[in-house]
Structure 1
């Protein structure tokens, strides 16, 4: 992302500065020009806050400018606002101070605590356990929905939480075959009678097929030519972590660039990219530290729970509210070791029978070193 693009991005009013950043910029500006001009340069004229569930409008703050003829004062305005409110490449200040401090401490710890040593012939074993929200309709409603033209109404939708599990075996010699096992999903939580019926239909559908699958990827390369795991790079993936910057701001700018216009918001998608990258469990410690520092630069990131437990492991939950869907996305880290524990999502509105405030999905990641990789998916039975 070049400087011109960054400068243009400061005009995007859909990305609102924090009140603290706005006040710092305003205070610095007023202090500089107090007594020199007969009019106030900033006048806050309103704020739009109305929203509807799942299609929330992003809040926009409108700032009115009073014109004046002193060119030097105008230059001061631009410089002070850009420095104190916008920063060079986005809103200044990034994450909330407590979250930024926790992330930088975890980054320092991640570098000090070495990664597992995988000896010749051994494998790095990464296990992921979690749940996700499954939403659909009941068989008993199928005829009526078809008779009504096939349009599914919100009242027709019903949801459950279903389990998910994966096992990744990464060889010490990464040019050898990587082994990936996925296990059949099963219902894990329901939300009332309709949800219970949907859970049974879901389980019947899953059990009708043998969905415990083992796959092998020579050199960790998928049939499509991308790396298995790693980070998203356009339409493919890569594990060339050395190709990415290590300094927090350049790294975050690169993440913005890789994401393009995808996601519900630029900052939310950047955090999602970081979480998705960490979730594979194969990120080396020094790059994991860089990702933590980059997350500390993202506006709206805050500590959401200082004692978050995920699948038996406890750490600090750090997340951000995505206002477009009114969903909070979080990742959990061990502050003492910098280890990534996992991620979770919380719906603040609720949907399809899921109550507001429910954790609608989570994934816990554990890593270890093992002597061999399995030849089949029998481990799913354990």
Structure 2
């Protein structure tokens, strides 16, 4: 099930270079307290999401302010299955992405992420990020975001060429049957033999695809139906993304942390993500936000570095 005119290639991504950096960090078991502060890079362990060439905009939370706390609402297990299947039914009626009209997928997002260790977690400023992903063929992409100097990872520059990226067509080339899709994700988790639980790893993998890919309608439907089969998935209502848009979240809790994908309740458009603690820990009380994002724009462009017309 690949994007129109895309060549058939082996399924699910060899993790993109920038995603690999975060996944590497995420595989370490974090002690109760760290000797130094470390930045949490993504709500659902996917990509470095935070910001870009335009610099700091809409700074909702200052890094020196008190931790942002949200109410830990009770999720709805039965509501999750209904909501996800409604989204799947709506997705198949949406138009296909334009074929043959551009060689790169462009995604612009906004995010804020917390530092952990040596006291309660604190959100960093909200910033923007832009990424250009090869659409059909493996090749170089581009990432624009503020520079970071991170423990273990080192310096991540403001503008970085992402070499030998997995193309969008390969990322979305997935089984159309939700049971097969979920079995594939479980199998890949078992092959790794580390990290999140099988259910948590499957939720994370689907979130990675939804976050920074251009997904055809049939693939979106399969992803939503597969998510509905993951034990522990819930719906949380009245959730706000990093752009201030309200929606409904599809959530999964792993340990003391809940990860949420946020959707518009009427259109089912993917809005962003949120991650927070659901219990009191050394990193803060229940409700402490670890990350919040918003996808602002998805488009197809002709060349790397080109921005779409608004």
8 Å CA contact 1:109–1:335 kept in 2: the answer is no
Q: Helix, strand or coil: the match of 1:245?
A: coil
Task: Name the CA shift for 1:97/1:168 in 2 (closer, same or farther; >3 Å).
Answer: same
1:1-382 → structure 2 map (5 Å cutoff) = 96-117=77-98, 120-121=101-102, 123-136=104-117, 156-157=118-119, 159-162=121-124, 163=126, 165-170=128-133, 174-175=136-137, 178-184=140-146, 211-217=157-163, 221-222=164-165, 227=166, 239=170, 241-242=172-173, 244-260=174-190, 261-322=193-254, 325-352=255-282, 354-369=284-299, 373=303, 375=305
Aligned length: 229
Cα distance per residue 1:204-228 (max 9 Å; x no partner): x9xxx783113154xxx33xxxx16
User: Which of the pair has more CA radius of gyration?
Assistant: 1
Cα distance per residue 1:232-260 (max 9 Å; x no partner): xxxxxx82543x32222222111111111
Q: CA RMSD in A?
A: 3.5
Give structure 1 regions of 4+ aligned residues with deviation exceeding 4 angstroms: 350-353, 370-376
Cα distance per residue 1:342-382 (max 9 Å; x no partner): 22111023445533212211222233336555659xx9xxx
* Structure 2 partner of 1:21: none
Determine which structure has the larger helix proportion and give its number: 1
Cα offset, 1:339, TM superposition: 2.6
* TM-score (normalizing by structure 1): 0.51
8 Å CA contact 2:143–2:161 kept in 1: the answer is yes
Higher relative contact order (CA 8 A, sep 6+): 2
**Matches of 2:103 and 2:175 in 1, distance apart?**
30
Q: Helix, strand or coil: the match of 1:282?
A: coil
Unaligned runs of 5+ in 1: 1-52, 55-94, 137-155, 187-201, 231-237
Unaligned runs of 5+ in 2: 1-30, 33-75
Q: Helix, strand or coil: the match of 2:215?
A: coil
Q: Helix, strand or coil: the match of 1:299?
A: coil
